Structure 1
Amino acid sequence: MPHPGTLILIMAIAVLAPLLAFATSRRLSVPVAIFEIGLGILIGPDVLDWAHPSQLINTLSNLGLSMLIFLAGYEIEFDAVRGDTLRRAVTAWVVSLATGLGIAFALTGAQVTKSFVIGTALTSTALGAVLPMLRDSGVLRTRFGTVVMAFGAVGEFGPVIAMAVLLSGRAPGAATAVLAAFAAVTAGAVYMALRPPPAWFAHVITATLHTSGQFAVRLVMLLLAAMLGLSVAFGLDTLLGAFAAGLLTRLVLRGAGPENSEEVLGKIEAMGFGFLVPVFFIVTGINFDLHALLDGGRPLLLLPVFLLLFLLVRGGPAWLLAPRSLSRRERTSLTFYCATCLPLVVAITTIGVSDGAVEPSEAAALVGAAMLSILFLPLLALKALPTGRARPSIGTTETSESW
């Protein structure tokens, strides 16, 4: 089928998925991404064989993934995510990476590249998928929501860094040097973003916010394109640029037009969650190798194993290193949220398959486990979270906690 027909099917699913999520919400809260992926599998080559992605659709899907990571980067509040909580989050992720790589080396018989792919995939957290759930449940701006944001941000950013070092094809020293150069350029951009903007800047944002000019939206898209281009120029994964663009956008908008920042974000979210992000999830379903997962027993057996490893490798260190101020039930909820993954698992396994490091069946098992994680673990996290009690939100300071 030519790509216009496939694109129409994709957009029809994008409309149908939230309707199904809404219809089931009274009995079961199912993330809309699950319906998007599931329906994508249904119309894909392995089931109905109605949809076949073209270069255009794959490009839109890649933009959707970049937008998802960009929005995750934007959500991070620097005033809240810092201090002891951030140190704990970083330490937990480092422990996850060491554990994940160790388990992967044991599972693969010390196959280096395959171990890097599997081990890195086990350390990711789908912050872009978790944050809307936290927002919808009303806990995003609470103390607990801030902790999840910190651990999730590191779980989103850390694997991207690991991909750049371990899966770039460069020697670790060369990859680290490239990352350092990228970080230096990004730091310069952050410095510029923190400088007081000229007086006309905020005025133009306000004056064009409801006109065809849309200066702020166009500026955000320029920042995203520039950071994506910068990451490509350095030979790094574009997800690193997307995440950095989100961080920069928050600094620019909060500094130049704080009274309009939420409205600008709403416009960007409409573009992302209304179009590009659904395309990414639906195309993920279309490209999902269902036959590889179901043919033979090993891949299907690996699926629950990988799901258990997500909980052990990513969730276990989060439980152990969570701030002491969290209750036991909040720690349990944090564990489930941290083990929720998908977008980066898709990205990492795609790189692994294209490089010949992992088999399509193994990649399908990893992605299938990630799909189950995003379906069930947030539900368990919500059930574990104490009800009827609001924790105060974090302001601009954080009380230091002892280790």
Structure 2
Amino acid sequence: MFDSTLTGILVIAVAAVLSPILAAFVGRFVRVPNVVVEILLGVLCGPVVLGWIPLNEAINGISEFGLAMLLFMAGYEIEFARIKGRPIRLAVWGWFISLGLGALLGLATSGFTLSAQIIGLAVTTTALGTILPMVRDAGALPTPFGGRVLAIGALGEFGPIVAMAFVFSEDERWHTILVIALFAAIAIGAAFMAARPRHPALARLVSGTMGTSGQLAVRIVMLVLIAMVVIAHAFGLDVLLGAFAAGIVIRLTIESGPKEEEHIVSAKLDAIGFGMLIPFFFVVSGAKLDLLSLFTDLSSLLLIPVFLVALLLVRGLPTYLLHRRDSELRPGESKALALFASAGLPLIVVITNTGVEAGAISSAHAAAMVTAGVFSVMIYPLAALRLYRIADKECEDLSA
């Protein structure tokens, strides 16, 4: 078993290296996010096709930590100074409208069942970690448009994680609410402590070990991440909530220090997360996908376009309607926002995996929903970027 685990880890590492190379090659024709290539390579190397990746306890354990790192990075990316006020208010309204529409969709397809709740919840997600690099590369992140993307993505990640606690919890609703409130109090307390000025001795030690083997800053980050995950688990909550909260706490901590330190630590976290742990999660997620079952179940194949359109209607439509009269956005940017909001993949993977493990949905339906999520991050963000560039060019022409 140990030999097969090492071989599986080697295969995953090779897939992680190949994914950006293949994405760059395919990118000459059509832009494909790394995460999509990682999932497809996982399908190829997984038990369904080549069988090179054993889905044993060791590999699943590393994959789960990669997922925690993904949600940590999503929380870390949120800049509260950028989203406070109108952006976050509109994002909150938009997500709750999406939640209501998702619930109606679930009821229409599966009635009052756990399957309906899973379907309804999956369409309320937004892949912040996937779309944010695209927004940053386009130079849109510092603009009001970028602030709206941050806010919408934050709610599209945080909202479903909290809702999962209610959907998959076996406790009474009041107990779940109490536990979440208690965890929130701990997270807020940690965030308050993080935002305070550091003790000079600690600040010197953090700076002094930044380029040495001590790496105190990175070790503190890992400690906070693990501690918040453990606390969430001890409370009976999804560990993803702990990971997301840890990202927010660390963001506030970093912002209270020197700007140069923020850049260095962010680069190190990107290296740890996107260099190893997060690709590991997506490759293993692909290995768990039973895509072959799609071709033995016609209803699953039909679910792909239905779910793809549902993401656009449930997440995109409320976003567009709420932001179309936003005075800080240029003409056309509200449509781009709607398309960005409709791109959902990482949490769709998580929600459907949990649904399969709970016996609420079939592996074929889970594969169809994840496939639709793959198409959503391939199609909607590219269309959104095109609309944003058109709006940007029209603004330049008017000011010329």
Q: What is the identity percentage for the equivalent residue pairs of Structure 1 and Structure 2?
A: 43
Which of 298, 309, 327 is the equivalent residue of 2:330?
Answer: 327
Q: How does 1:44-123 map to 2 (within 5 A)?
A: 44-108=46-110, 110-123=111-124
Cα drift, residue 368 of structure 1: 1.1
Whether 2:236 is the aligned partner of 1:235: answer: yes
Q: Distance in 2 between matches of 1:291 and 1:170?
A: 36
Q: Deviations over 1:204-248 (max 9, x none)?
A: 121100000000000000110111111101111111111100100
Q: Distance in 2 between matches of 1:388 and 1:372?
A: 24
2:398 maps to which residue? none
Q: Distance in 1 between matches of 2:242 and 2:60?
A: 19
SS in 2 for 1:46: coil
Cα drift, residue 387 of structure 1: 4.3
Cα drift, residue 141 of structure 1: 1.8
Q: How many residues align?
A: 391
Change over 3 Å in CA distance of 1:103–1:328 after alignment to 2:
farther
Whether 2:267 is the aligned partner of 1:266: answer: yes
Amino acid at match of 2:162: I
Q: Distance in 1 between matches of 2:275 and 2:212?
A: 20
1:362 maps to which residue? 365
Q: Deviations over 1:54-95 (max 9, x none)?
A: 211111111111111111111111111111111110000000
Q: Distance in 1 between matches of 2:264 and 2:197?
A: 21
TM-score normalised per structure 1: 0.94
Asked whether the 8 Å contact 1:293–1:299 carries over to 2, the reply is: yes
SS in 2 for 1:349: helix
1:153 maps to which residue? 154
1:134 maps to which residue? 135
Q: Distance in 2 between matches of 1:142 and 1:102?
A: 35
Asked whether the 8 Å contact 2:331–2:391 carries over to 1, the reply is: no
Return 199-208 or 228-237, whichever deviates more. 199-208
Asked whether the 8 Å contact 2:332–2:391 carries over to 1, the reply is: no
Q: How does 1:211-230 map to 2 (within 5 A)?
A: 211-230=212-231
Asked whether the 8 Å contact 2:330–2:391 carries over to 1, the reply is: no
Cα drift, residue 288 of structure 1: 0.5
Asked whether the 8 Å contact 1:142–1:390 carries over to 2, the reply is: no
> Which has the larger share of helix?
2
SS in 2 for 1:205: helix
Asked whether the 8 Å contact 2:297–2:364 carries over to 1, the reply is: no
SS in 1 for 2:259: coil
Q: Distance in 2 between matches of 1:44 and 1:130?
A: 26
Cα drift, residue 166 of structure 1: 2.3
Where in structure 2 are there 5+ consecutive unaligned residues? 396-400
1:300 maps to which residue? 301
1:399 maps to which residue? none
Amino acid at match of 1:130: I
1:250 maps to which residue? 251
Q: Distance in 2 between matches of 1:100 and 1:328?
A: 28
Whether 2:9 is the aligned partner of 1:41: answer: no
Asked whether the 8 Å contact 1:329–1:386 carries over to 2, the reply is: no
Cα drift, residue 305 of structure 1: 0.4
Q: Distance in 2 between matches of 1:22 and 1:190?
A: 38
Change over 3 Å in CA distance of 1:391–1:163 after alignment to 2:
farther
Q: Distance in 1 between matches of 2:219 and 2:76?
A: 16
